[in-house]
Every structure is written in structure tokens, then in C-alpha cells.
A and B are shown apart, each in its own frame.
Chain A
Amino acid sequence: MVRKFAHHGYAAITPHLYFREGSDSPDDIGARVRAAGGVADAQVMGDVAGAIDYLRAQPNASGKIGVIGFCSGGRHTYLAACTLSGFDAAVDCWGGNVIVDNPKDLNAKRPVAPIDLTEKLNCPLLGIFGNDDANPTAEQVNRTEAVLKRFNKTYEFYRYDGAGHAFLNTYRDAYRPEQALDGWKKVFAFLHRYLAASTASIAAE
């Protein structure tokens, strides 16, 4: 992923959110984190804040920072754009559980639904969604958009027919080439608009 953004001229970093589990194969580490119910939002926000600081310290940093995430990373992106300062653009690719309809789904690790923090969103937001996705559903994306409008946030949502969850992922049956090509065009056009500099920086989740 970071190579893709480097190819487009960005200094990019993907913070290893599970590094505290030690060294092992990525799927075994992921399995242990999954068994523990995932990582805490507060911890992820700390790691993302560290990634921001690291990028800013790079000699080729432009001073503008973007963040992009996919699936649970999309949710983290939404959360980070509402929680942390210093972003100039955020891209949420099909982040599920931004809206939490069942309060019992909130817990100590994920105590707040990101949608409830939308008033504090402090940068332009791009959303990429497949209309066949079950998490988030099209109806949930409608509701997210309504909240963004209510708070007069700067945002763009692109929603694709014939595509579900993770349709940019070339390793999955869910991959949809036409929708993916257009989705990536939207992502880089958006980032160029708000990070416009020859050496703009981006953190990828």
C-alpha cells in the first residue's frame, strides 16, 4: 500500500498496529489480536499520532498530512479525523461500525461510535463505498452522510453499484476492476486537491 502512495509522489507510512504482539507471521499475530477483541481505539489513535509526528519530521515532508484506511482502518480513519489534529485530508474506504446501532457493541476498547464524534471532524473527508456492502450498509452510509451534512462538513462520498466490501482488494473475490479503477482515481484526485504539494505526506492504515 505504501509503495502505491510512494509511486504517486507521497511520503507514506503504515503504522504496525499490532507490533506489541511481538514477532511472528502476520496472520498469527492478527489471530491473537482478534482473539483479544481487537486493539483499543485509544491505542490506535496514539499510534496514528506517532505516525503523524514521524512524517512531519521527514526532510521531504510538505507539512500537509492525509490519512487513509480500509474496513476497520476506514473506521479508524474516521475516528482519527475526528479525534486528532493535524490532518488535511482523510479517506474512509468502507469503514464499518462508524455507526453503532446496538449500544452493547460498545466496549472498553471501542467506547464511542465514531459517528458521535462527527461534529469534531476537522478535515475534508472522502468516502468510498460499495452499495452491496453489509458493513457498512447503504442505509448506514446514508445516515453517515446525513450527519456530515448536519454539521456542514466538507466531504465527498462515492458509492459503487455491483461492488461490496473491499472491492479494491485484488486478492479477494470481492475485487471489482472497473469500480476499483474509478475508486483509486477519486482517492488520488481528492488527496491531490487537499495535500497539493510535490512531496505531500500521507499515513496509510
Chain B
Amino acid sequence: MCSYIVEKTALMGSAKGRRGWMRIDTANVYFDHPYYSTLDHVLAIDFTNEGEGGRDRVAIELSADSARALVERILAALASGEAAHAELETEPTSAAIAMLY
């Protein structure tokens, strides 16, 4: 490692790693040298479950441009997804009943 920069956040979610699906409670985010990529620096994210010891992780390495693009797509997906689901929640009761059938 080079920069010793680590941004951590607690989160609630799940990830599929080498042992299948696992719950995750932490993301460790770095901009540092990669392990697999040939780039000099990557935006690396390790998704772990620190509550269970943090020994398993799902890891990704992205170029800086890719990481920024991903941030935009994540925010776009959240905005459109939350809007779409909000519309569904305001549908008339009869339509909701029709969906059940």
C-alpha cells in the first residue's frame, strides 16, 4: 500500500463472494495500488462483515473514471427506482387487487 488512505462506511446489505451470499456491514474504500489490475492506482472497495470477523470480502478494483461513472449510475438508479416504486405505492386499491390475480 502507498497512500494509507481508507474511507470506511457501515452499511446494510449482502454480497456474493467465494462462499456464496453473505451479509455485509462495512465497505472499505481506497484509492491505492491494486492487487490484480495493471493500473497504478485504483478505486478499490472491499465489502466485508466486520461483525463476523471481516475475514471474507467481496473486492472490486476500478479505474478512477469508472468509479466516478459508477457513482453517477448508482445515484441515477436510486432516483429512478425510488420514483418508480413511489408511483406503485400510490396506485388505487382496485389496481392493487388486480395485480394479486
A residues in contact (CB < 8 Å) with B:
24, 26-28, 30-35, 37-38, 71-72, 96-97, 105, 110, 135, 164-166, 171-174
Q: List 26 A-B contacts (CB under 8 A).
A: A27-B59, A30-B1, A30-B35, A31-B46, A31-B57, A32-B54, A32-B55, A34-B28, A34-B32, A35-B6, A35-B8, A35-B48, A71-B33, A72-B2, A72-B4, A96-B2, A97-B4, A135-B2, A165-B40, A171-B38, A172-B38, A172-B39, A172-B40, A173-B38, A173-B39, A174-B40
Q: Contacts A34-B6, A97-B4; is A166 near B33 (CB within 8 Å)? A: yes
Q: Which residues of A contact B3 (CB under 8 A)?
A: 96, 135
Q: How far is the CA of A171 from the CA of B33 in the complex (A)?
A: 12
Q: How far is the CA of A105 from the CA of B28 in the complex (A)?
A: 19
- Across chains A and B, the number of contacting residue pairs, with CB separation under 8 Å, is 58
Q: Which residues of A contact B32 (CB under 8 A)?
A: 34
Q: How far is the CA of A30 from the CA of B33 in the complex (A)?
A: 11
- Majority secondary structure, B binding face: loop
Interface core residue of B28, B33, B38, B57 (most chain A CB under 10 Å):
B33
The smallest beta-carbon distance between A3 and chain B, in angstroms, is 21
The smallest beta-carbon distance between A128 and chain B, in angstroms, is 15
Q: How far is the CA of A1 from the CA of B32 in the complex (A)?
A: 22
Q: Which residues of B contact A72 (CB under 8 A)?
A: 1-2, 4
Q: Which residues of B contact A34 (CB under 8 A)?
A: 1, 6, 28, 30, 32
Using A31-B35, A35-B28, A96-B2 as known contacts, list a sample of 10 further A-B pairs with CB atoms less than 8 Å apart, ordered by residue number in A: A26-B35, A31-B59, A35-B6, A37-B4, A38-B1, A71-B2, A72-B2, A72-B4, A166-B33, A172-B40
List 9 A-B pairs, minimum CB-CB distance, nearest first.
A27-B35, A35-B28, A174-B40, A173-B38, A71-B2, A31-B46, A34-B1, A38-B4, A172-B38
Q: How far is the CA of A31 from the CA of B46 in the complex (A)?
A: 8
**Is B36 close to A, CB under 8 A?**
yes
Q: Check B54–A35 contact: CB distance below 8 A.
A: yes
Q: How far is the CA of A128 from the CA of B79 in the complex (A)?
A: 49
